[in-house]
Amino acid sequence: MSDGFPSALRTLETSIVSVDGVSYAAVTPDGMAVLARPEQLNAFEGSASECDGKRLLVGHRSAANLEALRSALSWLRPQPLGLRTSVGFGDRLGVATPGHIAAMRCDGVGISPIFAQQSIREMDRTRRAPREVMDDATWAVFCSGWREPFGADADHLKTEEDVRRCLRVGYTLWTIDPGDHVDSIADTATADQLKEKFEQLPWSELADSPEASLRRYRDRSFGIEHHQLVMNEISAVRAAVKYGRAVAHTHTLVSLIRSDLGSDGWELEVAIDETDQVTSHLEHIYIVLELQRLGVKITGFAPRYLGEFEKGTDYIGDLDAFEDHVALHAAIARQLGPYKLSLHSGSDKFSIFAAAARQTRGIVHLKTAGTSYVEALRTVASLDPSLFREIYAFARAQYESARRGYHISARLERTPPPEDIPDAELPALLEQPDARQVLHVTYGQVLTAEDASGRGLFRERLRSALQAAPEAYAARLEAHFARHLAPFARWSSGSDQ
């Protein structure tokens, strides 16, 4: 017996733990066991039997049992991470967290992870629920024996309905994306157009007036470390026109979160990275000061940076210009906060990681999502070439429709036909930029594809292939994320700064 569990149970050694006289363990392939006094089992569901004077309950990895585990074991509950250097690990299939944990154990010294993270758009495209995302991460944390703090990100929420879907699940980081309310015309609008738009802003929602706004910002100088930034009347009006509605919408969503969760136990990130226009440094100042005026405190901010952050590829742009650009954003974040700068679409942006970590002095959050899915495909290309070939052919057929809503440069004609690639060369296809992007952005179609009878074509086959060889996928993710984590680990402190 191990910690009192019968040897006939296939318990996972890394999961076994005893707290207050109760023992818990994961049971392969997908169950759990609790050994306790009868009254200590009330929150769990399953079949109970006598075992050496205690009751042994064996049940499935159900939502109710996972909630009971989170209640019993404090380290399974996500926590706010504050200003710690942090990395978000997206998991579109629900089986990547063991690999993320392996990477953190080897290469994430001083970094705090966010294991439960999926944008509302990804949840819709993969037909996953917010609680499913949380439960998959919880199970992996339990099975692996991870005991360090980790966060959970309700990511890129755009609407009140998005927020409501994620309440009461246990998310500790709420990423609000008001990008749909950013005025894309403001950068090129004439003075007369700006004046008209300025007068039409939702001033009551902003608890403000045109006159008061101008008094605050017109001809105002901001000393940011060794920089002096001056906002004149036209730049003040332009910033308000461009981002005023986004500020008002953010305040609305934050008020909804507060009304349910209160003011403690969670933190806020504001993301405007998925807009077409670069966020200037003066606009950064305007957004944060306006949020602060409305009583909104942020832990993270993701502006639209200089250059291109395409999915599945490295950064595209002038590296020196990017470093200068992010250096001033980081200085603003230190002075007006401090709060973290957040790098979204951060998968595989290896060329800028060192600069971002250096200029933020480790007060930074890296957010990744699709790279874990792509590495799952790379793993399957080795394990089951036939399945991968099917997925690749399907992705190529879906690419033109899937790419809508993404700013990417992959061209289908530059991707090799699946029949031209020998099995042994399939994993290397993920190094070809066009093929990688095609596979990256078609995840929704792949994971929800069905045959004529309504049966899924790929999702369960993918999960089964990965779960049949979990060490292979975990090793792939560990190696891949070593490159992501190392530049940030050098600057991280692992504690609130």
Q: Please give the full DSSP string across 161-189, using - where no structure is assigned.
A: HHHHHHTTTT--EEEE--GGGS-TTTTT-
- For residue 265, CA distances in Å to 151, 172, 316 come to 11, 7, 37
Residues 155 and 215 occupy one common structural domain: yes
Q: Longest Cα pair distance anywhere in the chain, in angstroms?
A: 83
122 and 147 assigned to the same domain: yes
| Active-site option among 269, 274, 375, 384 | 269
155 is annotated as an active-site residue: yes
Residue 305 and residue 160 share a domain: yes
SS3 state of residue 149: coil
Number of domains in the chain: 3
Residues 416 and 436 in one domain: yes
Structural domain contains residue 488:
no
Q: Grade residue 53 by pLDDT with cuts at 50, 70 and 90.
A: confident
Say if 104 falls within a structural domain. yes
Q: Domain of 339: which CATH number?
A: 3.20.20.70
Residue 493 has pLDDT above 70, yes or no: no
pLDDT at 208: 98
Distance CA 485, CA 466 (A): 23
Please check whether residue 22 lies inside any domain of the structure: yes
The answer as to whether 19 is a domain residue is: yes
Is residue 255 domain-resident?
yes
Q: 326 with 238, same domain? A: yes
Residue ending a domain, among 50, 72, 94, is: 72
Same domain, 53 and 151: no
Q: Is residue 3 part of a domain?
A: no
Nearest to 213 by CA among 230, 229, 196, 201: 201
Domain containing 51 equals 13-72
User: Token pair of 425, please?
Assistant: 């060369």
Does residue 421 share a domain with residue 383?
yes
Active site residue 269: yes
pLDDT value of residue 118: 96
Same domain (yes/no): 82, 161: yes
261-279: burial string, b at 16+ Cβ within 10 Å, e else? eeeeebbbbbbbbbbebeb
Q: Which two tokens stand for residue 183?
A: 């005025």
Q: What percentage of the chain reaches a pLDDT higher than 90? A: 95
Work out the percent of the chain whose per-residue pLDDT is above 70: 99
Strands 300-302 and 340-343, how do they pair? parallel
Measured CA to CA in angstroms, residue 336 lies from 41, 128, 339 at distances of 49, 37, 8
Residue 497 lies in a domain: no
Does 220 score more than 70 pLDDT? yes
Domain stop point among 29, 47, 72: 72
- 153 part of a folded domain: yes
With a CB cutoff of 8 Å and minimum separation 6, the contacts of 110 are 85, 489, 492, 493, 494
User: Are residues 359 and 263 part of one domain?
Assistant: yes
Contact 169, 189 (CB under 8 A): no
**pLDDT at residue 2 in the model:** 65
- Render pLDDT for 16-29 as a digit per residue (tens, 0 to 9): 999 999 999 999 98
Residue 333 pLDDT > 90, yes or no? yes
Residue from 122, 135, 155, 208 carrying the catalytic annotation? 155
In the prediction, which pLDDT does 497 show?
Answer: 43
At which residue do the structure tokens 């061209």 appear? 411
Predicted local distance difference test score (pLDDT) of residue 407: 83
| Contacts with 444 (C-beta within 8 Å, 6 or more apart), sequence order | 122, 125, 126, 402
**Taking a C-beta distance cutoff of 8 angstroms, is the pair 412, 438 a contact?**
yes
Pairing label, strands 364-368, 86-89 = parallel
| 48 and 141 inside one domain | no
Looking only at the bridges linking them, the beta strands covering 267-271 and 300-302 are parallel
Tens-digit pLDDT profile for residues 139-164: 999 999 999 999 999 999 999 999 99
Last residue of a domain, one of 72, 89, 109: 72
Angle, CA 271 vertex, CA 222 and CA 170 arms, to 5°: 125
Nearest by Cα to 88 from 65, 126, 122, 64: 122
Report the pLDDT value the prediction gives residue 496, as an integer from 0 to 100: 44
Q: What is the tally of helices (H) and strands (E) in the chain?
A: 17, 15
CA torsion angle 93 95 96 97 (round to 10): 130
The total of other beta-carbon atoms located within 10 Å of residue 348's CB is 22
Q: Do residues 114 and 153 share a domain? A: yes
Tokens read off for 379: 């793993």
Regarding whether 379 and 337 lie in a shared domain, the answer is no
Average pLDDT over residues 66-86: 98
